[in-house]
Chain A
Amino acid sequence: MLSGVVDYRTGPALREQGAALIKASTEAALTLDCSGVEKSSSVGLSLLLAFMRDAQAAGKLLTVRALPEDMQEIAKVSELTELLQHH
């Protein structure tokens, strides 16, 4: 579950926390729920991509859920929507 404000200040710490969680998990399939994200930016999308890479490296499947609207808009402008859906 990703929640709160995801921006340039909170990004670096969230990156480390998420990486540790993915590494520690014993499940083969992980879901990242973004419904608790209050405000985000490109940093949020970069976090999702970083977690997808972490999961891939660990041989796990990561699915993203409930992407908030502001992140969806940035994803659209950067033509990322499909990539996030069909991972």
Chain B
Amino acid sequence: MSADNAYAVELKGVSFKRGARSIFNNVDISIPRGKVTGIMGPSGSGKTTLLRLMGAQLRPSAGEVWVNGQNLPKLSRSDLFDARKQMGVLFQSGALFTDLDVFENVAFPLRVHTKLPEDMIRDIVLLKLQAVGLRGAVDLMPDELSGGMKRRVALARAIALDPQILMYDEPFVGQDPIAMGVLVRLIRLLNDALGITSIVVSHDLAETASIADYLYVVGDGQVLGQGTPQELMESDNPRIRQFMTGDPDGPVPFHYPAPDYRDDLLGKR
């Protein structure tokens, strides 16, 4: 049993393999309750896989995944279904249902998970859309929305069931600066006002560092570092420094390992 109530999510000794390839090896991550935690790392470092492990969409090859005092890999299907209701996910693509209007997209989890009467579903949909500033867009179809609006509708849907934990998968990708600013403000507002635990997976350093209370940097199947954004900025670890400062070359080399260039072009002498 996880004893520490200070953490909403704890990965303990988690390993994950795809076929023979190891994606994570013996990873420990603790997500403080009620805070915004950023999980950062280069593209392809397995950040989304971590979210999927926390949401039990994937099972670890080894280790424990504790969410609100429950070890998810050990839960029955029905208990897992209940545990997932406490978690909202904002997917990278937004993942709105393209043939449903904004109202029905936000109402969807309420229709699937509750037996609330129609007038209460309408109330909650409008409350959530008001919170993200899009109540006026309730009758629009997803293809009538800008990228930033889509992401906000997806956020309204993610909070429809008042989750205790909200996971954001690359929320800033492809957003213009205004939409990005709006999202940053919303993530912080929802976290602070509703006491939600927020987990932001991202490689957008500036935005993530600006809202995160705590950061993890992952890479090579491991946690490379953790701390407050300030602590990581001042890290002595060259791998973390390279990521935090965005240097093209460093411990993560610019060049993927390749045979000798001259040999490759002109043949061996």
- Taking Cβ atoms with an 8 Å cutoff, the residues of A that contact B are 8, 11-12, 15, 41-43, 45-47, 49-50, 53, 70, 73-74, 76-80
Question: Is residue B128 within 8 Å, beta carbon to beta carbon, of the partner chain?
Answer: yes
B interface: dominant SS: helix
> Nearest Cβ distance between residue A70 and chain B, in whole angstroms?
8
Known: A77-B190, A78-B131, A79-B130. A12 touches B123 (CB 8 A): no
CB distance from B128 to the nearest CB of A (A): 7
Determine if B123 and A46 form an interchain contact, defined as CB atoms under 8 angstroms apart: yes
Partner of B117, one of A12, A70, A74: A12
Q: A12-B116, A78-B128 are in contact. List 6 more A-B contacts (CB 8 A).
A: A8-B114, A42-B127, A43-B120, A47-B120, A50-B123, A74-B127
Interface membership of chain B positions 101-129, coded 1 if the CB is closer than 8 angstroms to chain A and 0 otherwise: 00000000010011111011001100110
Interface size class of B (residues with CB under 8 A): 20 to 34
**B123-149: which have CB < 8 Å to A?**
123-124, 127-128, 130-131
B194 touches A73 (CB 8 A): yes
Would you call B190 and A12 a contact (CB within 8 A)? no
A8 x B127 contact (CB < 8 A): no
Q: Which of B110, B115, B128, B162 has the most CB of A within 10 A?
A: B162
State the Cβ distance, B98 to closest chain A Cβ, in Å.
Answer: 26
B193-A50 in contact (CB<8A):
no
Q: Give CA–CA (A79, B134) in the complex, Å.
A: 13
B130 touches A8 (CB 8 A): no
Q: How far does the alpha carbon of A80 sit from the alpha carbon of B162 in the complex, in Å?
A: 16
B117, B120, B130 pick with most chain A CB within 10 angstroms: B120
Q: Which residues of A contact B131 (CB under 8 A)?
A: 77-79
